[in-house]
Every structure is written in structure tokens, then in C-alpha cells.
Amino acid sequence: MPFALALTVILVLLAVFQLALVFGAPLGRFAWGGQHRVLPARLRIGSAVSILIYALIDVIAWDRVGAVDVFPAPFSEIAMWVIFGYFTLGILMNAVSRSKPERYMMVPVSVALSVLSFLIAMGMGELAAAA
């Protein structure tokens, strides 16, 4: 469960960051390609959707480790591999960003999320494994 907890902490911090973007914080250089100081409406909507996606990812991760029982086991197992792919793709997407602040901040975050989601997808940290 420590991997799911670490994933949750990072996702909560990202959700707070995205919420700040939604409300117009001048942090746009760290997100969405770094082209805007304050995000335009369409990207603010994207940030709001990101928060919902983070919440879903978190529920799937906790389901996968057995802390909650929301989805059938095959779903959470497959979904965690999809999430791993999503975060791994995020490494690449953030690495090619034109925004240096985005690259410097989000590449390490994406690496951490990718590694944690890989460990969770592999079944490490499951409650049953601890018993």
C-alpha cells in the first residue's frame, strides 16, 4: 500500500495545482505546453477534467492494491497497466515541451507516477501480499 499512498500524495498535489490553474493562477508555464501565463478557458476546462481523471486513477490504484473494492479485479488489473502507459507517455510529452519550467517540473513527476503505477500494476503492495 505504500505505493498507492505515494501515488495518492502526488495526484493530490497535482489536483491542487490544476485547481489553481482552473481559477486563473499565473502558473501556465508549468502546464499545457507552457504557452500561457494564465490559461485560456479551454485549457482551464482541461485542467478541471484532469482533476477528475486523477481521482479515477486513484480509485483504480486503491482497488488494485485491495484497499477498496470498487471494480472487478480484472478491470483494475488491466486499468493499472493502461494508467502506467498513460504516465509513461506523459514522460515523453513533458520531455518535448517547449516550456523549460514544464520540462523541469513535470518530467520528474511523470517518472514518479510511471514507476509507482508500474509497481501497483505488478501487484506490489497488495493487501493480500502482506498477509
Residue 129 confidence (pLDDT) above 60: no
Domain segments of the chain as ranges:
2-125
**Contact criterion met (CB below 8 Å) for 124 and 8:** no
Cell 494564465 belongs to residue: 38
CA distances from 6 to 11, 27, 69, 97, 125 (A): 9, 24, 19, 25, 11
pTM to 2 decimal places: 0.89
- Check residue 127 and give its pLDDT: 62
Task: Please give the torsion angle defined by the CA atoms of residues 42, 9, 125 and 116, in that order, rounded to the nearest 10 degrees.
Answer: 50
**31-79: pLDDT as tens digits:** 998 899 999 999 999 999 999 999 999 999 999 999 999 999 899 999 9
- Check residue 99 and give its pLDDT: 92
Residue 13 confidence (pLDDT) above 70: yes
**Contact criterion met (CB below 8 Å) for 1 and 58:** no
**66-118: pLDDT as tens digits:** 999 999 989 999 999 999 999 999 999 999 999 999 999 999 999 999 999 99
